[in-house]
Chains A and B, each alone.
Chain A
Amino acid sequence: MKKIYSFIVMFFVFSIVFSQGYEVTYQQKISLGGITTESEFQLLLDVTSSKSVYFELNKSVFHENEDEFIATDNNVVPFVEKDYSKKEIVYNQPIINRIVVVKDDLPLQKWKILDEVKIIKSLKCKKATTTFRGRSYSVWFTESIPTIGGPWKFDGLPGLILEVTSNDGVFKIETTKIEKKKKTKKIELKYDATSLISWNEYCEKYKKVIIRIRKSLKAENEQDTDYEFNIDLVEDIGL
C-alpha cells in the first residue's frame, strides 16, 4: 500500500507570501574518501511564516510571471526545509543511489556559545560549537541578523549562521552572499508526504542495505580476499 502511495506524487506546495526575508548563498564543501564535492546552495528564509528552505543551486530555474520560480525535484536536488513554529525539519537523504525523505524534530543540535568574536565583512560574529551525529563542528553566527536560521541542518542560535566547519576538515559551509529581500523567491518542493521516515528509520534502512551488500560480496568472494565495504558519510548512522 505504501508503495502505491509513493507512486502517487503528492504535490506539496509552499505558497509563501513574503513580507521580508533573507536569501543567503552558501558554498558547501564535503571532502570524504579522497573525493571533494563543492556545490552552491541557497537558503531562503521567510520571517513571516517562520520557515526556511535550503537547496542546491544550478538546477532547473525558470521564470513564471514576474517571480523567479525554482522547481526542485526530490530525486535530484538536495534540500532541507524547516518550519520553526511547528519545530519540524524535512530533508532528502540518499541511501547509496536511492533518495528518501526524512522528517525530524527541531532543534537538532545543542550549542555552546563561546566568547570568541570575528568580523566577517563588517558583520560581528560569535563562535558556537556542537557535536552533531558523530562529528564536532564550530560555527560563526551573527546577531546582526537576528534570526534562528542556518545552512543545511544547522540551526537554533540567536543569529544567522554564516560559517560552519567540522573539526576534522570534512565538512565546510561558507556564506558568499547575503541578500535582505522585501520579497524572496517562491519555492516548490515535490515529495510524497506520506512516505516520510524518521532519522532512526533512515539509519536502520541504510545499515540494512550495507549489511546486505557486505554479505552479498562475501558470498561471491574467494577465501583469500579480506576487505571492508564502507560508505563514507558526513553523519554517523551507527554502522
Chain B
Amino acid sequence: MNKTQTTNLILIWLRILAYKLIDIRSKKIRSSILGLFFVCITTSITAQNFKGVIKNEKGEEINNCYVVIIDKETNQVLEYTVPKIDGNYHITITDNNVSSVIIKCQGLSYTSKFKEVVLKKEIKLYKNDFILNEEINELDEVIIVSDIKKIKIKKDTVVYNVSKFKKANDRKIINVLKNMPGIRVNEKTGQIIYKGKPIETLLLDGDNLFGKNYSIGARNISSEIVDKVEAIEDYHNNRLKKGLTKSNKVVINLKFKKKKIKFSGEIALGLGIDNHLINANTINLSNKIKGFGVFNFNNVSMNQTSFEKETYISENRSELSKYSIDFLKESSVKQESNFPRSYINNIKYGTYSNLIKLSKKIKFRNNLSVFKDIKKYGYSSKNQIIINREEINISNKIQNTQEPFYFKMDNTIIYDISPLAVLKYNNRIVNKKDDFYQENIQNQNLNYNTQLKSVKKYFDQELNFSSKISSNELLEMNLLSSNDKMRQDVTFLGEAIRYNNEVFNEELVDSKRFILGAYLKYLRKIKRNNIELMLQHKYDKEDSKFVFNNNGNNNAYSFRNEISNLIVKYNYNITKKIKISEKIELGRLKRKINQKIDNQIITKKDLYFNTNTKLSYKISKKNILSIGVSNKTSQLSNRYMYTNPLLIDTRAITTNNPSLNLKKDLNIYANFSHYDLLQQSNFSLLASLNEVKNTYMSKQNISEDISIITYFQTPLTKKDINILATTSFFIDKINTKITINTNANFNTYYNLLNQNRFQSVWSSVYTTNFRANSAFKGFFNYKANMNYSYIENKQENSQAFLNSIINTKLEFNLKISKKAYANITNNLILPRGIKVTENQLFIDFSFNYISKRKMEYFILAKNLLNRSTYDQVNNTEFSKSIVSKNIFKRYVVIGLNYSF
C-alpha cells in the first residue's frame, strides 16, 4: 500500500467516525463541517511548515525582508512571506512531490542568505532562523535601463472597435451595423444614426467614396469582406479643420479584410410568375482605386435605391434647396402612397462610384447613377365635406402611373496643395424626366384623364480653398453656382374643366433658377474653445412662366433675392462637462418680384438678426442634458408669390396673395439622454416648442366641381409642442429586448373655409410604438411590434374629430439549421372605424438556404392572402374620407444569390 492509499483509508475511517459522533440535523451544515474537517485533516497530514526568526547582526528582530521557498529540483517558486513585526515567519507548503527546497531570506537593506533543506516525510516542521548582514548604501541611485519610448496618444476619434464577423454568410453590412451598440438604422431611407447623430458618410478603409449617398453602399456591401467597424466622432471632411474645432460629426469606417483578391461582389437572381428580382453589386478595393457598383432590376415593390423619395431627400438636401419651384407639387396627379404595400413598381437601376488616387496629392471621386421606374398607385375614395352645414359628397376612383427617369453624375477633385492647404472642386449634373398619368372617375360618371410631363436639368459646381495660416487658424474661401431648369406640361383630357368661363385643356409651367454665392470663413482655436467668422453673399434669381391652353394667355414672373450676411459661431467649454455653442447671424435681405404681365414690381429690403444657442451638460458617462434656443428670420418660398390661378389637377386650383414679410421662427428644446452599455438600456426625453409668425395659410373655397386654394401670409402665430420619449431595456429572465417610443405633438393652426372667418384648430397627435424582440437560443425567435396613433382635431366652436390607427406586426424567425432559416410575418392594420376583418391582415413569408460557402437559395413570398385593397379612414375638422388603396398582388419569387 503506498502513501496515498494509506492516507485515503485514514480519511474514510475518520469520516465514518465523524458521522457517528456528530448528530446534526441539517444536512447542509453537516456536510460543510465535514468538509472543513476533511480539509483540516488533509492539510495537517500532507502540509509541511517552515518557521523561524529573522534578526540582524545586532540581534534585533527585523521584518523589512522576506522569505522565499523554491523547489530545488524543478526551480519552481513554491511560496513566500514577509515576517511579522517580531521577526517571526511561517510558510506552509502542501505539494507532496517536493523532496528538497531552498529557503532564501533577502531584503533590500541586507545581503541575501539561503539554506538548502531536504524534506522528510516524518518531519512536518522545519525551523530555520536567519541573521542578515546589513548593506549600507545611503545614496540614491538611478539606473536607466532603456530609452523611454514615445507614448502613443489615444485618439479621441476612435470610439470603439469590438465586433468581429464570423464565417462567411454573404450578408449585408447594414444589417450588422444596426446591431452594434449605439447604432440605429432607418429601414426606409437607409440612414445610419450613431448615438443619436446621423452619420456623415460611410468610409471604406478611411476613404470617402460615397459622400452623403452612402445608403446604397451600406445596403449592398457584404459583411463577409468587412473585418472591423469603427465609429469615429469629431469627423471633418476637411482635414485642416481637425484639432481646430470639434465637429460633432460622426462617420462609420469599414475596415476590410486584407485579401489578395481585391475584387468581390454578389449576384442575386429571383423569378416568379410575373415577377423578377435581380441585384448585382461589385466592390473593388485597392490602395489607388476604390470602386463600388450596384445594379437592380425588380418589380417586387422594393425600392432600396438612392432614388427612393425619402432617401433622396435625406441625402441631397443641399441640392434640393437649390431647385426651382415645383408649382405642381401638390397635384393629386403626383400623389404617391405612403403605404408600402401600395407601391407597385418596375425598377431598372444602376450606379457606380469610383475613388482614384491620381497621385499622392490628387484624388478624384466620381459617381454615375441611372434610375428608371414605372410606378402604379390606385385608390378609390369617398369624401363627405361639411362647410356651413352644407354637405358636399365627392367620390373618386383614381389610377396614377408615374414613369421617372433619372440620370445623375457627381465629380469631385481634391488637391492637397501642401500639408497646410487644400483645393477642392466638385460638380453635379442631374437630368430628370418624369411622366405622370392619372385616370379619374369622379362621382361615378365623370371621366378625367390628366397627363403631366416634366423635364428637369440641374447643374451645380463649387470651388473651395482652405489654408491653415497658423497652427490655430484657418482661412477658407468658397465659390458656388447652380442652374436649374424645369418644364412641366399638363394636358387635361376627357371631361372639360371649366373655370372662370374658360375651358382648360393644357398648361405649360416653366421655371428657371440661377444661384451664385461666395463666402469667406475664418476659424480660430483659442485654448479649448473656438470661434468662426463667416462673411457671405448670395445672389438668387428665379424666373417662372405660365402658358394656358396654348393660346397666348400667359403670365411670367421674375424673383430676385440677394442675401449678404455675417455669421459668428462660438464654441466654449465652460468646464470639461459643460459646453456652450452660439451662432449669431446678422444679415441684409433684398427681394424683388416682377410680374411681367402688368409690369407690377414689389421690392423689399430687410435687416435681420438670427441666433442659435445650445448648452450641453455631460452629467456623467451615461447621462447628457442639452438645452437650445433659436430664433430665425427668413423669407417665404417663391412658391407663394405667383398671382395667376393655376390648375394643379382636375379639381384643384391654387393661387396666392403674395407678401414679402419675413417669417419668424422661435424654437426652444430640452433633451435628456441616458445610455448604459452594460445594462443594454437607454432612455431619452425630448421636449420642444416651436412658434412661427408670418407663415403662410390657405383659404379654401370648396364646391362639388372644384376647390380653389389661395395661399397668403398671416401675422397669426402657429404653435407646435412636441414631446418624445424613448426607452429600451433588456429583460434577462425572458430573454427579450423591449423598446418603447412615445410621441405627443400639439399643434395650433388656422383655417379659412368658403368665406368663413378664421377659425383656430387645435390638433393633437399621440403615437406610441411598442416593440418586443426575443433572443432565445433555440430555433424559434419572434419580433412583435405594435404601433398606435391617435389624432384629435378640434375646430373652434365645434366638436372634436378623431382618427386612430393600430398597426401590429408579428414576425416569427425560425432557424431550421445552421444553413437554413425562415421568416413568417403577420401584419394587421386597423384604422378607426374599420371593423376587424380578414381584409386588414397581411402575411409574408421568406426562406433562405445556404448550400455552399458562396451560394444561397431563397424564396420570397408577399401578401400570401392575396388582399387587393387596404382601407383607411381620415377625418379632418371639415371632412370625413374613406380611402381604399390598391395593393400589390400576391407574388412568390424563387431565386439564388452568388458571391464572388
Contacts and interface: CB of A to CB of B under 8 A. Distances in A.
Interface string A211-233: 01111111111111111111100
Interface in A105-163: 107, 110-115, 120-123, 128, 143, 145-148, 156-158, 162
B112 A177 contact: no
Contacts of B82: 50, 84-85
Given A107-B79, A227-B165, A213 B148 contact: no
Interface in B688-708: none
B259 interface: no
Interface string A5-47: 0000000000000011110010100000111111110000001
A74 interface: no
Interface string B104-123: 10111110100000000000
A58 interface: yes
Interface in B225-248: 228
B167 A226 contact: yes
Interface size band for B: 35 or more
A236 interface: no
Contact of B140 (A95, A147, A181, A209): A181
B614 interface: no
B717 interface: no
Nearest to A113: B75
B149 A38 contact: yes
> How many A residues touch the partner, as a band?
35 or more
Interface in A35-90: 35-40, 47-48, 50, 58, 84-85, 87
Interface centre among A98, A147, A221 (most CB of B within 10 A): A221
A175 interface: yes
B77 A158 contact: yes
A197 B813 CA distance: 40
B223 A225 contact: yes
Interface stretch (B512-520, B641-649, B673-681): B673-681
A220 B737 contact: yes
A35 B4 CA distance: 51
A43 B103 CA distance: 26
B274 interface: no
Contacts of A122: 143
Contacts of B773: 219-220
Interface string B524-545: 0000000000000000000000
Contact of A96 (B75, B677, B848): B677
B162 A231 contact: yes
A182 interface: yes
Nearest to A179: B142
A81 to B, nearest CB: 15
Given A38-B151, A174-B145, A219 B70 contact: no
Residue picked from B112, B152, B181, B677, most chain A C-beta under 10 Å: B677
A175 B142 CA distance: 12
B171 A225 contact: yes
Interface string B24-61: 00000000000000000000000000000000000000
Given A107-B80, A156-B77, A212-B680, 6 more contacts: A110-B76, A113-B77, A121-B144, A146-B107, A219-B730, A226-B166
6 contacts: A112-B76, A113-B70, A128-B77, A179-B143, A212-B730, A225-B171
Interface of B: 63-64, 66, 68, 70, 74-77, 79-82, 84, 104, 106-110, 112, 137-149, 151-152, 154, 161-167, 169, 171-172, 175-176, 178-181, 223, 228, 621, 677-680, 730, 732, 735-737, 773-775, 781, 813, 815, 821, 823, 848
